Amino acid sequence: MIDRFKPYVPPFFLRNGHFQTIYPTLFRTVTGVDYCRERIVLADGDFLDLDWSRAGSRQLGIVSHGLEGNARRDYVRGMVRALNQSGIDALAWNYRGCSGVPNNTLRMYHNGAIDDLHTVIQHALTTGSYEAVFLIGFSLGGNLSLLYLGKQAESVPQAVKAAVGFSVPCDLTDASIALEKRVNGLYMKRFLILLHDKIKAKQHLYPEALDDTGYARMKTFRQFDDRYTAPIHGFKDAQDYWRQCSCRPWIEAIRVPAVIVNALDDPFLSGGCYPEAECAQNHLVTLVTPRWGGHVGFMALNSSGRYWSEDFAMAFIGGF
């Protein structure tokens, strides 16, 4: 089924993974998206902020953003606009602490927070408005969506018809190793600065659990996850967190059609992030590996302003 989709072949001057990764983040502006925000309260007293963009459809695309992203990021807004232009409602949800307001609990968002995604899906379905739901995830959001579909295969609502993941770190260990490379130092530094802001914003609420003394000496995700993510969320250490929260071991269990789109020049991915063997064992899951695209890039030059990833996602979910 994937064979019928137009492959990604950008102009020669866009054939650079770092350019594809950086340029859209700094310079893309997506217009024509108007959100209506809804806050839902969770069972543990926390909350999630959901940004809706409705087209009056019985179909819904749930868009999950990447690490330190949010619903306002242009890669999310671009997908939301594409959904609406295809006559599909869109729900871009913000993870805990990502909507511009610190969340209430010590718990933060992470790659394994599939219970929050399930809550969002169930909330959308309780409105009675939707017959079909599609999951679209970027980077961390792609891993989260696929982990949910595999790990919770028996409890995924029947309304969930398909899923698309772009730039998915299917193996968190290998993705972390890739980001530790010297050439990726600027990306790593930026992520750590943004994550530090999250820690500082919550530190005064939980001084007994959070301490940023010596934070500047941290240089890798392993150090951050060892110090914060793992102990806060019940994992033994960073390696245990990565092992339990990588979608790669769960791909064979997925029971809805899904496609993983990971560019071969993605500077954030390596090794097991391209799960060829696992996808070969599940006819419902397809791995697409364009030669170019970077990390959450896939730029296109056209009058519509739509990126190849948006057209690809619409073509894929349009078959259901």
- Express each pLDDT in 239-258 by its tens digit: 999 999 999 999 999 999 99
Q: Strands 36-41, 132-138: parallel, antiparallel or unpaired by DSSP?
A: unpaired
The crossing angle, in degrees rounded to 10, of helices 185-203 and 172-179 is 110
Q: What percent of the chain has pLDDT over 90?
A: 98
CATH entry, 2-317, from 3.40.50.1820, 3.40.50.10860, 3.30.70.1070, 3.90.1150.10: 3.40.50.1820
pLDDT band at 1; cut points 50, 70, 90 = low
Mean per-residue pLDDT for 79-91? 98
Strands (E), the chain: 36-41, 47-53, 59-64, 89-94, 132-138, 160-166, 258-261, 285-288
Which 3-state string (H, E, C) describes 222-277?
HHHHHHHHHHHHCCCCHHHHHHHHCCHHHHHHCCCCEEEECCCCCCCCCHHHCCHH
Mean per-residue pLDDT for 274-290? 98
pLDDT band at 2; cut points 50, 70, 90 = low
pLDDT band at 12; cut points 50, 70, 90 = very high
Q: Which residues are catalytic?
A: 139, 266, 295
pLDDT at 3: 59
Mean per-residue pLDDT for 72-86? 98
pLDDT band at 189; cut points 50, 70, 90 = very high
pLDDT at 6: 84
Q: Strands 132-138, 47-53: parallel, antiparallel or unpaired by DSSP?
A: unpaired
Amino acid at 191: F
Separation CA 112–CA 116 (nearest Å):
9
pLDDT in tens, 22-75: 999 999 999 999 999 999 999 999 999 999 999 999 999 999 999 999 999 999
Mean per-residue pLDDT for 216-224? 98
pLDDT at 236: 98
Mean per-residue pLDDT for 3-15? 88
Q: List all residues 6 or more positions away from 6 whose beta carbon is below 8 Å from its beta carbon.
A: 308, 311, 312, 315
pLDDT at 242: 98
Q: How much is the mean pLDDT over the chain?
A: 97
Q: What tokens appear for 285 in the block?
A: 């899951």
Please say whether the beta carbons of 93 and 217 come within 8 A.
no
pTM: 0.97
pLDDT band at 4; cut points 50, 70, 90 = low
pLDDT in tens, 97-147: 999 999 999 999 999 999 999 999 999 999 999 999 999 999 999 999 999
